[in-house]
Homo-oligomer: A and B are copies of this chain.
Amino acid sequence: MSQKTELRRKQIIKAAYQAVADKGYETVTLQDIANYADVSKGVPNYYFQNKEDVLAHLLEEITERIYQKEKTAVVNETSFQDMLQAYIEAVFINPRENKKFFKVYLDFLAQATRNERYREINALFYQNCSSISKMILVRGESEGHFHNRNHDDDGKTIRSMIDGYMIQWLMTGDDKKHETYKESCLKAITNYLTS
């Protein structure tokens, strides 16, 4: 694939991200995506097989990007508590980005219940998130905060708390509450792990 093709695809996916955030997964049209990308309607179909193909690449792109961001934040810390806090800070980055990402992500989760391809992309995301949790847990054990924990279960629990708190924050529709939800989430995970 040429460099230009790569750039065009990125441009279209970026436009699709904003378009889906604004209009929703099902409501968004190829025309919308084209408009957001400042190209004509035929372009998305030229660079992707069809609408679903555009959106599947969008899901891949945003989950991968989030994962990289979170991982980088965590590996740059040395202590268990700093790693955990860095993780949560990276997740709850700010109201604007969180709203955009989770609006779109929720749309994809809803679709994934009826779409195997989206489920697979999300499964990879879960796996990646789990690997981040594992790094933190290993560090926590080596620091003696706890022992013999089930890392798979803890990974699921941490993921649950993050998704759950983020969804509940999203449903408040209140940007100002973002900080308190972040703090509550961090406290809840800390309390769960270190008892």
Contacts and interface: CB of A to CB of B under 8 A. Distances in A.
Interface string A112-135: 111010010011001000000000
B171 A167 contact: no
Interface string A157-183: 101111111011011010000000100
A106 interface: yes
A114 B192 CA distance: 33
Contact of A164 (B25, B111, B163, B184): B163
Contacts of A109: 106, 110, 167, 171
Q: What size tier do the contact residues of chain A reach?
A: 35 or more
A145 B191 CA distance: 15
B106 A157 contact: no
A111 B110 CA distance: 10
Which of A163, A167, A195 has the most CB atoms of chain B within a 10 A radius of its CB?
A167
Given A24-B114, A161-B164, A168-B160, A184 B153 contact: yes
Nearest to A22: B114
Contact of A161 (B119, B161, B167): B161
Interface of A: 24-27, 99, 102-103, 106-107, 109-114, 116, 119, 122-123, 126, 153, 156-157, 159-165, 167-168, 170-171, 173, 181, 184-185, 187-188, 191-192, 195
